[in-house]
Amino acid sequence: MDFFNLHTHKGTNQANVLELVNQYPREFDSEIPYYSIGIHPWYIDKEQVEVDLAIIETKLKERNCLAVGECGLDKRIEIPLDLQQIVFEKQLLLAQKYNKPVVIHCVAAFQEIIETKKRLLISVPMIIHGFSKNEQLAKQLLDNGFYLSFGKYLLQSRSLGTALETVFKNVPNNRIFLETDTVDEGIEKVYEVAANCKEISIVAMQEIVKSNFTTVFNNKHQ
């Protein structure tokens, strides 16, 4: 593995890239080598939640299911937050049961995410995917044990000169991941931009992410 892509919705099957492809319980593709699986808050169907959770639990027993997610909370959608919270908590408890990391989708609900982690005593790694916020929030998340994954917003920051570049530069190396999510650019481009932000080589960036992968995913899939 030369590159690890923490979160993508479409695998590219490159030999040198390990991709954590996001899967949904009722749209499962068994041909995907490595994946995360979860109920995204956008797609919660109250009548299907228990069925979806049963599918997720079955998949969590498989070796190539590396994480739960993406799952989380989103205050900018119509699905009631209390329902989102219930579904999120059930997925966190499954992650804890099967010792799997969690890929988090969060929109305007970071305090709720932090509170939930504390209240449920979640000890498995939790990774905020697509981080795009300020240094103060980054520090609060890091202080509460979260990892931060950067991708499309970091690419935009590099071209637009926004503050996220500085935020990324100041995140400790042992708490970062990189991803493509839905962007057209490959993960190699994200690594290039990330390395430039940190003022290190791409090889050094690869070593940082590989080390974090080993820590979070228990070194089972390199």
- pLDDT for residue 221: 52
For 171-221, the pLDDT digits (tens) are 999 999 999 999 999 999 999 999 999 999 999 999 999 999 999 998 555
Q: Rounded to 5 degrees, what are φ and ψ at 47?
A: -75, -15
Q: Rounded to 5 degrees, what are φ and ψ at 65?
A: -90, 105
For the chain, the average pLDDT equals: 95
For 145-172, the pLDDT digits (tens) are 999 999 999 998 876 667 899 999 999 9
181 assigned ligand-binding residue: yes
Per DSSP, the residues of the chain read --EEEEEESS----TTEEEEEEE-GGG--TT-SSEEE---GGG--TTTHHHHHHHHHHHHTSTTEEEEEEEEEETTSSS-HHHHHHHHHHHHHHHHHHT--EEEEEES-HHHHHHHHHHTT--S-EEETT----HHHHHHHHHTT-EEEE-HHHHHHHHHT-THHHHHHHS-GGGEEE--BT-SS-HHHHHHHHHHHHTS-HHHHHHHHHHHHHHHTTT---
Whether 34 contacts 17, CB under 8 Å: no
- Placement of tokens 């749209």 in the chain: 27
Q: Read off the pLDDT of each residue in 19-28 and give the average, rounded to a whole number.
A: 96
221 in any annotated domain: no
- pLDDT for residue 195: 97
- pLDDT for residue 159: 66
State how far the Cα of 144 lies from the Cα of 80, in Å rounded to an integer: 26
161 CB contacts (<8 Å, ≥6 apart)? none
* 201: amino acid identity, one letter: S
Task: Please state the domain count of the chain.
Answer: 1
Orientation angle between helical segments 81-98 and 110-119, nearest 10 degrees: 40
107 in any annotated domain: yes
Structure pTM? 0.96
11 in any annotated domain: yes
Domain range for 73 is: 3-216
222 in any annotated domain: no
- pLDDT for residue 154: 94
For 75-128, the pLDDT digits (tens) are 999 999 999 999 999 999 999 999 999 999 999 999 999 999 999 999 999 999
Whether 134 contacts 156, CB under 8 Å: no
Domain CATH for 64: 3.20.20.140
State how far the Cα of 46 lies from the Cα of 136, in Å rounded to an integer: 35
105 assigned ligand-binding residue: yes
- pLDDT for residue 157: 82
- pLDDT for residue 160: 64
